[in-house]
Amino acid sequence: MKRTISVFLLGLLAAGTCAATPTDEAFQNLADEYISDLVNLSPVYATAIGNHSADDELDQVDAAGRAETLALLRQYKAALDALDRNELSRANQVDAELLLHSLESDIWSIEVLREWAWNPLYYVNISGGAIYSLLARDFAPLETRLMSAAARLEQIPRFLEQARSSIEPARVPRIHAETAIAQNQGLNSIVDLMIVPQLDVLSSAQQQRLNAAIETARNAVADHQTWLEEKLLPQANGDFRIGAELYDTKLALALNSPLSRKEITARAEQEFERVRNEMYEVSKAVYLARHPMTRFPDDPEEAYKQAIIRAALEEAYKKLPPRDGIVAVAREQLQEATDFVIEHNIVTMPEEPVEIIIMPEFQRGVSVAYLDPPGPLDRDQPAFYAVAPLPTDWTDEQVESFLREYNIYSIQDLTIHEGVPGHYLQLALSNRYPSALRSVLWSGPFVEGWAVYAEQMMIEAGYQDHDPLMKLINLKWYLRAVTNAIIDSAIHVDGMTREAAMKLMVEGGFQEEREAAGKWVRAQLTSAQLSTYFVGYQEHIEMRAAVEARWGEAFTLRRYHDQALSYGSPPVRFVRALLLDEDIPRRGE
């Protein structure tokens, strides 16, 4: 594989300001080569985004591999720095900023954050994704994809050996070791569910090779499981809290927003009070419908508000899905949301396929559901709305706690968030933007913020016929995004304890114990990601308000949503600049 930018491209960049080779042309060549070079940075990631030129290769995760990756990232940064970005078109100015931000983020992650040294899940996700991404979608003939899987399975022993040589056990937090132990053998379930049933499409020789590769991989996974349990776990004594310095840098890189940690916390704390007060007002109407003779005090104490809100929530908790029926409920509600969006002309409805699936085992333990879109270079493939099944070892009390949290109204809100008009719709429309680079370098805060915005917007538009219980659950879910932002930094920077976090989520945010306990685990396993929902939402509502003021009577939801989603999924501040014809933000602004 090539590990350097082509001499031809460097020549283009050196002459980028000449009339014969405009800066836009030079940048486009740089962007195209970067997309092609993603197979050298990570073959597994390249497969996931739809670059299939190295589907039979597995990432090199040893010191030599990291050194080669760093060298290539620095070459691209130097080439980009050599361009006069002021001479680029506005669209390319955005893409250049995204590429620069991504390169700097990747370099910092390898050199400073160094998760490869202390997070065993880093390797679990790569190995699981390496096989899952080959079999989940029909981007090539099944025979071709199965033989690519064979090639990658043959490399699993090397990959896991490199992982063990990279990890520093004493730095590994115990929660990361425990989660890796739970997820590591998920690779076997991918093989059992997605490969073994398909073996009969192969020739005898191909089956022989694939069966041998499967046996090789299973043995390697078993050896790694023994190492995780007997070597890593006893030594895992690292602090999952990454501290202020690392957190602030990681947050800035994750958000690509001018909002600082302190500003985010201040906003979130203000929203926490506002949303709880709004929940009280909605709850009063619900309570009165059941107890019409009630007279509410003019200046109620917080304990009184808490009791009324909880009483109203209990009405919503009476409508629970069956333990094994969450996927069926989500499928039905996805159709309801789709029909509402079309009927009310809210936004263009994409035709790209979406399927609701059981979450793969190697992905479980971090979130209840997620939207897995096709790679931006695989635009004709389906999106997957993945829902995690309830753990089989849960007690009846834990199951009830979970189902109360994910009642019928909550699943509806979740389906809006993950499906329509949330992630599925937004990403399907955004991926129509012609820049492959922009599709690859999508912004988490834009995507997550849009999904939270979609929840709020649908209820405001009258979804579920203005049902106050739907409104109440919707507010509860937004309160979850608010508390996510609060605990994210409070845990990693301020040392918030599990007890304090649970109290904030359960008492302050009205979350059920199972949901809050799961979020505590997620907050330990991740950092900076939980803030993306709140920050992205704040930026989305500010952008909509600015556009609504500018457009006046010409503003409609359909016009605004279609145009806002037409620029891809860059950070919100770039979309705002394009919508309002403002200067394109630059790095550090």
- DSSP per-residue letters across 457-473: HHHHTTTTTT-HHHHHH
pLDDT in tens, 81-134: 999 999 999 999 999 999 999 999 999 999 999 999 999 999 999 999 999 999
Is residue 192 in some structural domain? no
> For residue 388, what pLDDT is reported?
81
Provide the pLDDT confidence category of residue 10 given band limits of 50, 70 and 90: very low
pLDDT in tens, 464-518: 999 999 999 999 999 999 999 999 999 999 999 999 999 999 999 999 888 899 9
CA distances to 448, 467, 503 from 404, in Å: 24, 18, 18
Which range is least confidently modeled, 7-11, 178-182, 464-468?
A: 7-11
Provide the pLDDT confidence category of residue 7 given band limits of 50, 70 and 90: very low
Q: Which pair of structure tokens corresponds to residue 159?
A: 């990959």
Task: Please give the average per-residue pLDDT across 288-302, as a whole number.
Answer: 96
Q: Which residues, in sequence order, are CB contacts of 588 under 8 Å at separation 6+?
A: none
| The pLDDT of residue 175 is above 50 | yes
Provide the pLDDT confidence category of residue 340 given band limits of 50, 70 and 90: very high
pLDDT in tens, 432-467: 999 999 999 999 999 999 999 999 999 999 999 999
Nearest to 377 by CA among 418, 447, 419, 438: 438
| The pLDDT of residue 281 is above 70 | yes
For residue 552, the 8-state DSSP code is G
pLDDT in tens, 29-52: 999 999 999 999 999 999 999 999
Q: Strand 354-358 and strand 383-387: pairing?
A: parallel
pLDDT in tens, 370-382: 888 898 898 788 9
Helix and strand totals (H; E) in the chain: 28, 3
CA distances to 297, 407, 423, 585 from 317, in Å: 26, 6, 26, 45
| The pLDDT of residue 64 is above 80 | yes
Is residue 15 in some structural domain? no
Q: Helix/strand/coil (H, E, C) string of 356-394? A: EEECCHHHCCCCCEEEECCCCCCCCCCEEEEECCCCCCC
Q: How far apart are CA 71 and CA 3, in angstroms?
A: 8
> For residue 363, what pLDDT is reported?
65
Share of the chain above pLDDT 90, in %: 84
Task: Please give the average per-residue pLDDT across 520-526, as a whole number.
Answer: 96
Name the residue range of residue 449's domain.
338-347+397-405+437-580
Q: What are phi and psi of 114, to 5 degrees?
A: 55, 45
Provide the pLDDT confidence category of residue 365 given band limits of 50, 70 and 90: low
Please state whether the peptide bond connecting residue 297 to the residue before it is cis, i.e. omega within 30 degrees of 0: no
Contact 337, 368 (CB under 8 A): no
Is residue 484 in some structural domain? yes
- Give just the sign of the alpha carbon dihedral 510, 512, 516, 519: negative
Mean pLDDT of the chain: 93
| The pLDDT of residue 11 is above 80 | no
CA distances to 129, 182, 376, 395 from 122, in Å: 11, 14, 22, 30
Q: Which residues, in sequence order, are CB contacts of 361 under 8 Å at separation 6+?
A: 183, 185, 186, 189, 190
| The pLDDT of residue 15 is above 80 | no
Helix axes of 444-460 and 468-492: crossing angle, nearest 10 degrees: 160
**Counting Cβ atoms within 10 Å, is residue 510 exposed (0-12), middle (13-18) or buried (19+)?**
buried
Is residue 62 in some structural domain? no
> For residue 323, what pLDDT is reported?
84
Return the percent helix, strand and coil in the chain, to nearest 5.
Answer: 70, 5, 30
Task: Please give the average per-residue pLDDT across 348-360, as a whole number.
Answer: 89
- H or E element in which residue 354 lies: strand 354-358
Q: How far apart are CA 234 and CA 168, in angstroms?
A: 13
Q: Which residues pair with 358 in a beta bridge?
A: 387
- Tokens 């403002």 correspond to 582
Provide the pLDDT confidence category of residue 317 given band limits of 50, 70 and 90: very high
Is residue 230 in some structural domain? no
Q: What are phi and psi of 140, to 5 degrees?
A: -150, 165
| The pLDDT of residue 1 is above 70 | no
pTM: 0.92
Q: How far apart are CA 448 and CA 468, in angstroms?
A: 25
Which is higher by pLDDT, 361 or 273? Answer: 273
Q: Which pair of structure tokens corresponds to residue 69?
A: 């990756």
Nearest to 229 by CA among 120, 68, 389, 80: 120
> For residue 112, what pLDDT is reported?
98
Is residue 260 in some structural domain? no
Q: Which pair of structure tokens corresponds to residue 56?
A: 């039979």
- Give just the sign of the alpha carbon dihedral 60, 61, 62, 67: positive
pLDDT in tens, 529-572: 999 999 999 999 999 999 999 999 999 999 999 999 999 999 99
> For residue 13, what pLDDT is reported?
42
| The pLDDT of residue 386 is above 70 | yes
Which range is least confidently modeled, 4-8, 284-288, 486-490, 512-516?
A: 4-8
User: For the chain, what is the domain count?
Assistant: 1
